[in-house]
Amino acid sequence: MRWIRANAHRLNINPDKIGVIGFSAGGHLACCVSNGFNRAEWQLDPDNSLSEVSARPDASILAYPVISTGTQYAHHSSMEKLLGQRFETKVMDSLRWEDHVHPNYPSTFLWHTN
């Protein structure tokens, strides 16, 4: 996200209108970007060239995302594929995105069907 924003002029896009969209497992990744944009451990920047660039998307579309972990609503097979059969509860809890929504979360359209 920071690389895209830093190169917006070259990519011919507006740096203030960059969103993320994901479906199913991709919805999980889009949610990671939307919710964890300020996690220092996720912001790899070896040469410090992006330190002043925001990683926060301006909008988010989550289409039937895999975002719940360890609950009755979780898609357990997706979680096993993502984390393996043996994983730490702490890791699973950190990916339970519905418990980590914060005031700086980007505007989001979330949808699911049945």
Q: From 15, 10, 42, 41, select the one nearest 29 (Cα to Cα).
A: 42
The CATH number covering residue 45 comes to: 3.40.50.1820
pTM of the model: 0.78
pLDDT digits 0-9 by tens, 90-105: 777 777 777 778 888 8
Q: Do residues 106 and 34 touch, judged by C-beta distance below 8 A?
A: yes
pLDDT of 69:
65
48-78 residue pLDDT tens: 888 899 999 999 999 988 877 666 666 667 7
3-state secondary structure of 81: helix
pLDDT digits (tens, 9 = 90+) for 2-13: 999 999 999 999
Domain that holds residue 26: 2-111
Provide the domain count of the chain. Answer: 1
